[in-house]
Amino acid sequence: MILLYKPLMLAIIFSITLLTQGCVSVNKSNSDTSSVELSQLVIAEPLAINFKSEIAIARLSEVINRVKIKDEQKAQLYYDRGVLYDSVGLRSLARLDFSHALQLQPTLTDAYNFLGIHLTQLKEFSQAYDKFDSVLELSPEHEYAHLNRGIALYYGDRPELAAQDFINFHYKQSDDPYRLLWLYLAEYEIDPVFAKQNLKQRAVLVDDSTWAKQVIYLYLGNINQEKFISELTVNINSNKALTDRLCEAYFYLAKYNQHQKNFGAAANFFKLSLSTNVYEFVEHRYARLELDLMRTKKAISMKQQNPL
């Protein structure tokens, strides 16, 4: 799992309290088949919206609408509320808040970063590149802009450029399996054999106790997807932990099945990833885009086969 931003809940609630108090005084495989039996799948109860997020959104809205504060402070509050809207799946409201934040404070790099993410989800790739470029111009060390621009380039069919961004992102933390996996996905589009060789070499740095190492083993062919699925509940002690893991696991299983040309299974795994409601995870965010792109490619293929 890669979070696209650092959790802000405590900071947001604390900032609201301070602002409110201040305003009282002065007025944020090996033998895989093309499908897996339903009895083999692990299903979790979809994650419910955190009531603390709803309360924080309400309090932020009250401060934004009623309190007289400086533009820089209001921009930060719009951004914080946008992050909360995004975390509960209210993407359109989040985009509006990020846009408001940038109108008030044009140098707010994280708002550009989020708008770029949302534009990627909308398949507005050129605009997304511009947003991420703005982030890196304002803050060259903003490593998550490399991840997010890399993802936009990957889905925009520019895998060579995507791979370079993912290399920069991976370099910052070379033992992170998720950084390695996104680099692998981009390199696979360039040369599958080369990508697998690189994955094997780089995977040595990933701790074997890390759950996502299992995804790497799956992609390397060390285990098949039945074994992968059978071990999804290992060391899981809560529904929250299970939904988090399933969101990731089913996304990467979907990508695995795409590479195996099992497109029906891939689509189902993307839907299973979406069913977890783990909106903050990069895997959930792009599972829907994957489905949209698969439908588009299928429609184009059918049109080519039946031009009349």
Would you say residue 256 lies in a domain?
yes
Contacts of range 86-92, beta carbons closer than 8 Å, 24 or more positions apart: 86/114, 86/279, 86/280, 87/53, 87/279, 87/280, 88/49, 88/50, 88/53, 88/54, 88/57, 88/279, 89/277, 89/279, 91/118, 91/121
Q: For residues 102 and 111, is the Cβ–Cβ distance under 8 A?
A: yes
Q: What is the pLDDT of residues 115-169, one digit of tens each?
A: 999 999 999 999 999 999 999 999 999 999 999 999 999 999 999 999 999 999 9
Would you say residue 56 lies in a domain?
no
Mean pLDDT over 209-213 rounds to 95
Would you say residue 117 lies in a domain?
no
Inter-axis angle of helices 109-121 and 282-305, to 10 degrees? 30
**Residue 53 three-state SS:** helix
Site of tokens 């499908």: 35
Q: For residues 78 and 65, is the Cβ–Cβ distance under 8 A?
A: no
Would you say residue 161 lies in a domain?
no
Q: What is the pLDDT of residues 230-286, one digit of tens each?
A: 999 999 999 999 999 999 999 999 999 999 999 999 999 999 999 999 999 999 999
Give the pLDDT score at 164.
97
**Amino acid, single-letter form, for residue 98:** F
Would you say residue 272 lies in a domain?
yes
Would you say residue 299 lies in a domain?
yes
The single-letter DSSP state of residue 39 is G
Let me know how many helices (H) and strands (E) the chain has, helices first. Answer: 15, 0
Distance CA(42)–CA(246), nearest Å, equals 8
Least confident piece of the model among 14-23, 39-48, 240-249: 14-23
Range of the structural domain that residue 295 is part of: 228-308
Would you say residue 304 lies in a domain?
yes
Would you say residue 67 lies in a domain?
no
Indicate the number of domains in the chain.
1
Stated pTM of the model: 0.86
